[in-house]
Amino acid sequence: MKKTRAAITAVGGWVPEDVLSNTDLEKIVDTTDEWILSRTGIKERRILKGKERGVSEICTHAVRQLLEKKNIDPMEIDMVIVGTVTPDYFFPSTSNLVCTNLGMKNAWGYDLTAACSGFIYALATGSQFIETGRYKKVIVVGADKMSAIIDYEDRSTCVIFGDGGGAVLLEPTEEEHGVMDFVLHADGAGGQYLNCRGGGSVYPASYETVDQKMHFVKQEGQAVFKHAVYNMAEVSVRIMERNKLTADDINYLVPHQANKRIVDATAQRMGLPGEKVLMNIERYGNTTAGTLPLLLWDFEKQFRKGDNLVLSAFGGGFTWGAVYIKWAY
């Protein structure tokens, strides 16, 4: 019997209109366009401005686009998994809100917390519901409104992050396409270097947590950088070896957009030339769970049926991993 695989059959994406450029940031914190560009590769990022606007808005736009593109009745969707660290609320989940916003009344789902690896974790999870034959249409979303948890007085973090996200539709196929393999990892000891501790059950929101800025992202950049460079490269090479892929076999590396230098190091370890490495960090910055679906959205037109893509990410947790996909259309 042929194996059923989960094929990506559509992509949607959305970023807010408001642009926060490096020059804008020069007026807010002690930084320069030259520093940001040379250290990270970022020129500008998008910010979801205005009160009472959450990440569900980003997700809803992206999923609506995907449904419209494929002319799919929302009632046909079985499940929606949202990778995010900036849900609208503790509950209801962002998945619940998106399903209701778009009339996906037959769907259930949940949010998944894996920071920058949120999309690959969710993709691996969603693909299992298809492969087992349980469901026919699963939507996987990766999105974050990082501006909600960023301290715009902290130059070491505020220059990096932005808002945005995207979504993919997974459907079953008997062809040799879709999610072919994944390797995922986690190490909670990394939490000391990258975290947002306020508002959970250890430090519930209080005047003190606000005074101590515990509701913002804290990052020890260099420590995270070292782990990211090593682990993203290692897991990407491992997924190549497991699937007997040479650099020539890979059409595109779809890497998490945290820092151009981390991506360059990963591509180098994989032996990939620059033209096979997808980048859009210069326009969006690091949108956490949003980076990978935003890359798929931006470069969708360039992909051909049968192309080999390696998605790779590293982020808070620590979490990291790689997914090997054969493009299905």
Three-state secondary-structure class, residue 266: helix
Q: In what order do the strands lie in the sheet containing 252-255? A: 178-186, 319-326, 308-315, 252-255
Closest distance to ligand UT7 from the beta carbon of 135 (Å)? 30
b vs e for 108-117, b when ≥16 Cβ sit within 10 Å of the residue's Cβ?
Answer: ebebbebbbb
Report how far residue 61's alpha carbon sits from residue 43's, in angstroms, rounded to the nearest whole number.
24
195 part of the active site: no
215 part of the active site: no
Return the bridge partners of 80, or none.
109, 139
Q: Which residue, 123 or 139, has its beta carbon nearer to ligand UT7? A: 123
Q: Which residue, 193 or 303, has its beta carbon nearer to ligand UT7? A: 193
Q: Which residue, 69 or 218, has its beta carbon nearer to ligand UT7? A: 218
Closest distance to ligand UT7 from the beta carbon of 181 (Å)? 23
Closest distance to ligand UT7 from the beta carbon of 36 (Å)? 6
Report how far residue 178's alpha carbon sits from residue 168's, in angstroms, rounded to the nearest whole number.
12
What is the residue type of 211? Answer: D
Closest distance to ligand UT7 from the beta carbon of 35 (Å)? 4
Closest distance to ligand UT7 from the beta carbon of 40 (Å)? 5
Report how far residue 213's alpha carbon sits from residue 168's, in angstroms, rounded to the nearest whole number.
35
Q: Which residue, 133 or 188, has its beta carbon nearer to ligand UT7? A: 188
CB of 284 closer than 8 Å to CB of 47:
no
Q: Which residue, 63 or 267, has its beta carbon nearer to ligand UT7? A: 267
For ligand UT7, the nearest residue by Cβ is: 221
Q: What are phi and psi of 104, to 5 degrees?
A: -85, 70
Active-site residue, from 177, 256, 259, 280 = 256
Which stretch of DSSP H or E encloses residue 124?
Answer: helix 118-131
Active-site residue, from 22, 231, 280, 286 = 286
Report how far residue 10's alpha carbon sits from residue 139's, in angstroms, rounded to the nearest whole number.
10
Report how far residue 126's alpha carbon sits from residue 9's, in angstroms, rounded to the nearest whole number.
13
Active-site residue, from 116, 177, 259, 280 = 116
Interface residues with ligand UT7 (CB under 6 A) are 31, 35, 39-40, 116, 155-156, 159-160, 221-222, 224-225, 228, 258-259, 262, 286, 315-316
- Which residue numbers are catalytic? 116, 256, 286
